[in-house]
A = this chain, B = another copy of it.
Amino acid sequence: MRLLEERIRKDGHVKAGNVLKVDSFLNHQMDIDLFQEMGKEFARIFEGCGVNKILTIEASGIGIACVTAQFFHCPVVFAKKSQSKNIDGEVFTSRVESFTHNRVYDVIVSQKFLGPQDRVLIIDDFLAKGNALMGLCEIVKRSGAFLVGAGIAVEKGFQEGGRRLRSQGIRVESLAIIDRMDEEEGVVFRPQP
């Protein structure tokens, strides 16, 4: 998606350790006009797939997921990252290792909000090693819901997440795929149709 690639070139910052800072428009401050365009693009890509639920994970996936859901006219469920006393009853859980935060956490979704009647689109802001996304896919599978696919804003194509997921037959559509990046050269995107 040209608009997102241009924005990453303009306002993204590559830092040491394969860190791409997009906190001025994507995951701390959020540009809602951009999110609307991204939502429209996800709606175009997954048109006709019968999506009736969007699943994301706290925290930075929620904004994109909610704006996107307006184009699908469906609710959003966000997975929580640790047990809270506000979740009760039966839950689906999956254990996830976070590269960004260097810790292991449980991803949790109440069983009330995912089931065999659901056709689920997963939305998230980043795909790198793919651990969080694998956790969400596992939860969808366990719930009996149908996984339509995953819509990602920014995929780090030089890390293994996208390959891992696609090799399992999961449809992963990323609006921008970074083939390589470094502090001098900046970001090089994978050409997409």
Contact = CB atoms under 8 A, between A and B. Distances in A.
B69 A32 contact: yes
Contacts of A31: 75
Nearest to A70: B32
Interface string A30-73: 11110110000000000000000000001100110111011001
8 contacts: A23-B110, A24-B113, A25-B75, A32-B69, A32-B73, A58-B58, A59-B78, A59-B80
A10 interface: no
Given A28-B109, A59-B78, 7 more contacts: A19-B86, A21-B86, A23-B87, A24-B112, A31-B75, A67-B67, A85-B101
A76 interface: yes
Interface of A: 15, 19, 21, 23-25, 27-33, 35-36, 58-59, 62-63, 65-67, 69-70, 73-78, 80, 84-88, 100-102, 109-110, 112-113
Nearest to A66: B63
Main secondary structure of the interface of A (DSSP, over half): mixed
Report the copy number of this chain in the oligomer: 2
Contact of A29 (B67, B76, B101): B76
A86 B100 contact: yes
Nearest to A69: B32
Contacts of A70: 32, 36, 67
A33 B73 contact: yes
A89 to B, nearest CB: 10
Contacts of A63: 62-63, 65-66, 76, 78
A32 B76 contact: yes
B30 A78 contact: yes
Contacts of A85: 100-102
A101 B83 CA distance: 9
A77 B32 contact: no
